[in-house]
Amino acid sequence: MKQNFIVLFIVLLVLSCNSPKKSDAIHSENWSKRTANLSQKDSLEFGKSYLSIYSQIYSKSDLKTHNLTAMVSLRNTSDTDTIYVLKAEYFDTHGKSIRNYFENPIYLAPMETAEIIIHEIDISGGTGSNFMFDWKIPKNCSEPLFEGIMNSTMGQQGLSFITQGIRVK
């Protein structure tokens, strides 16, 4: 009887544990709700921005890495104009494209922010991952701002830092 109780206890213990959620490393942002038709907007100015992201950093030596969660912030800095992001492509340390986050251009309303989350368990980008953003804005509109916020917590210790995108075209 005692053995049956122990077996039952172990089974209940195992069944009551929450299995970790599977992460697809893509934030739940619904990009299809943001799709923009740019066919009538040929007077827009084109730009391209680069943003460095760190899904891993070195810890103690080049033999040990520490995983990070990265939040990529796409910000419309204009308080009057809607802007358009044509592409948000994520690359790994070696320059290999990992994924493009949306198939069609998206819009950001004045002062609006959209986010892409790279989960801590997604280490596909490595220590030198980065994004390339293609965008269009109305003439005389302020440029979009792309930021990366990386963080991690272990026990009582936390680590966080930011990066900012630069216009490359």
Whether 76 is covered by a domain: the verdict is yes
- Give the torsion sign (CA, 15, 17, 22, 28): positive
Is 15 within the bounds of a domain?
Answer: no
The count of other CB atoms within 10 Å of the CB of residue 50 is 15
Of 5 and 117, more confident: 117
Distance, CA of 167 to CA of 143 (rounded, Å): 9
Averaged pLDDT of the chain? 84
pLDDT cut 90: percent of the chain above it? 60
Per the structure, how many domains does the chain have? 1
Residue 92 lies in a domain: yes
Q: Which pLDDT band, with edges at 50, 70 and 90, does 7 fall under?
A: low
Which structural domain range is residue 148 located in?
24-167
Q: Is residue 13 part of a domain?
A: no
Q: Where are the alpha helices (DSSP H) in the chain?
A: 2-16
What local confidence, expressed as pLDDT, does residue 25 receive? 40
For residue 1, what pLDDT is reported?
60
According to the model, what pLDDT value does residue 8 have? Answer: 52
Q: Is residue 133 part of a domain?
A: yes
Say which CATH number the domain at 47 has.
2.60.40
The string of pLDDT tens digits covering residues 114-130 is 999 999 999 999 999 99
Contact 167, 49 (CB under 8 A): yes
Answer whether residue 155 shows pLDDT above 90.
no
pLDDT digits 0-9 by tens, 42-83: 789 999 999 999 988 888 888 888 889 999 999 999 999 999
* Burial label, 93 (beta-carbon count in 10 A; 0-12, 13-18, 19+): middle
Partners of 47 in the beta sheet? 135
Please name the amino acid found at residue 114. A
Query: Does residue 112 sit within a domain?
Result: yes
Q: Does residue 16 belong to any structural domain of this protein? A: no
